[in-house]
Structure 1
Amino acid sequence: MKPSLCSEQFRMPWPDHRTVFPFITHSDLKMPGPDTVLWRYMDLTKLLDILGNQCLHFTRIDKFEDPFEGVAPRKALEGLSRRVPASDLEEVLQIRRRTHALCWHANKTESAAMWRLYLSSNEGIAIKTTAQRLQESLQLSPPEDKALFIAEVEYIDHDDEALFLENFLKWATFKRKSFEHEREVRLMRVADHNELGDDFVYRPRINVSTLIESICIGPLVPKWVGDVIEQAISKYGNFKIERSELGDDPTYISRFIEDLQAGRHPTEENSQPGGNATSDPT
């Protein structure tokens, strides 16, 4: 029997892949540097699931809110349709039903936009890590250890004539330009045919202490709720917990006003945290 396009020509790993345990990389995918700072925004329930079960929850990309997730660029699809049988093409188009992903936000600092976008309540939490810590935290056994890809998401126009790509995993890293603010890094896995179905869930085990550099409590979380969250987290280990700085008042302003009212010249030292400047004696 002739092997299908999806099971042979599009099977992983491709000939030019290389393995950076536990990730497989490919020349078409842009892998983040090991020191890339990553954030995962979530509610308390999802955090406790990670801490309690010591695993990460992947979602099938066709279940994501954006209907363009995993969809081939138009020119790539047109090119394939001229060269492969319809039955094989249909199988390739279904690859988005087999691709599971876990999405992270790449940023050196917390993001006000991400707090607003991905949290349905005022009890938001974010895990801060790095690409290297994420890699080292995964506890995988063969053949699962050769099944994960990590890549930076590219923000494109799906009608762009320059995009003539036939790498279906690359399609899973495309999002529309309207989502550029997400600055997403995506951890991905393509399920085997025997793992298909709406009830299949991919939850690889991790070492949470290795994964988590710190846990940040959201800017809209009331102090007493933050205290309860810290107590809940402490049951699972000694994690570094920080409160978001986005809700802090600019205290240097009040000091500046106090100086003015007292007849003092507001100095850089008084008006900026950590300043070392001295006042002008004149």
Structure 2
Amino acid sequence: MYVHTDDITIPDPDTIVWKYLDLSKFLDMLLCRQMFMSRSDKFEDQYEGTFSEPTFEEIRRIAQSNPEFVDNYKSHRENVVISSWHINEYESYAMWQIFTKNNEGLAIQSTVQRMKDAMAPENRYEQHIGEVKYIDYKKEYIPFDNNFFPFLFKRKSFQYEREVRVISDLTKHNLHINEGAKVNVDINQLIEKIYIHPKSENWYKNLVIQLMQQLGFDFKIEKSDLESDILI
């Protein structure tokens, strides 16, 4: 007997979210005043946007009378773009390790509400924000009556990501999407605080601060809890 998942989780507006990225991606965001969203089938996890076994069995029955049904779902992944954010009240040592290299990089701290407000002027693409649900792909069912649902589920092996996603379906725009797409954002609304890699050297921290000042941004820069002095 298969277990059906509960309703899709809509994150609380005050939920704190993080994006860990290298300096080049951060500067690209500031210069373009746009947020990059990756094409869903370019993620490392090959299961992105696919279905669990119980759901696939139902789709296969539908496809017997409509052979194009499965092909449409496969091609659909090429037109869906995603921006991934990490839910956490505090910064994450693990996320620093995974998403930054050579003790360099930054973390953007925001909230779900700030993300929504920052993208409000973006009228080109329909966007959906949802919290990823981690399930057993052998037992649990993924609903497919909404085009966004398959992209809001992942295997339990990825629970450490604690992910909130901004998802856009660009199918109707007839675009050729290579690695992804950029969407306009209000940078000052999106970014609440900046954390510079806790193990970075002073010259790197000073470089980041200088670059932001030259570009006309005055974000609050917090000292990482991971570089606090030892109280002993």
TM over 0.5, shorter chain: yes
1:241 equivalenced with 2:186 (yes/no): no
TM-aligned CA deviation for residue 87 of structure 1: 1.2
Report which of the two has the higher share of strand.
2
Confirm or deny that 1:165 pairs with 2:146: no
Q: Could you list the runs of 5+ residues in structure 1 that have no partner in the other structure?
A: 1-26, 254-282
Q: Which fold has the larger relative contact order, with Cα–Cα distance below 8 Å and residues 6 or more apart in sequence?
A: 2
| Partner of residue 41 from structure 2, selected from 62, 67, 70 | 62
Output aligned runs, 1:1-282, within 5 Å. 28-84=7-63, 85-140=66-121, 142=123, 144=125, 147-160=126-139, 162-163=140-141, 165-167=143-145, 168-199=147-178, 201-236=180-215, 237-250=217-230, 252-253=231-232
CA deviation digits over 1:34-91, x for unaligned, max 9?
A: 1000100001111111111111000011101111111111111110111231112211
Offset at residue 213 of structure 1 (A): 0.6
Instruction: Tell me the C-alpha RMSD between the 2 structures.
Output: 1.8
Distance 1:139 1:32 in 2: 17
Separation in structure 2 between the aligned mates of residue 114 and residue 48 of structure 1, nearest angstrom: 20
Residue 153 of structure 1 deviates from its aligned partner by 0.5
- Equivalent residues, number: 223
Change (3 A) 1:175 1:49: same
Question: Closer, same or farther in 2 for the Cα pair 1:39/1:70, shift >3 Å?
Answer: same
The separation in 2 between residues aligned to 1:142 and 1:124, in whole angstroms, is 31
TM-score, length-scaled by structure 2: 0.89
Q: Following TM superposition, by how much is the alpha carbon of 1:199 offset from its aligned partner in structure 2, in angstroms?
A: 3.1
Query: Deviation at 1:166?
Result: 2.2
8 Å CA contact 1:153–1:184 kept in 2: the answer is: yes
Q: 1:88 to 1:81 in 2, by over 3 A?
A: same
Task: Kindly indicate whether the alpha-carbon contact (under 8 Å) linking 1:57 and 1:204 is maintained by their aligned counterparts in 2.
Answer: yes
Partner of 1:15: none
CA positional deviation for 1:196 = 4.6
AA paired with 1:120? K
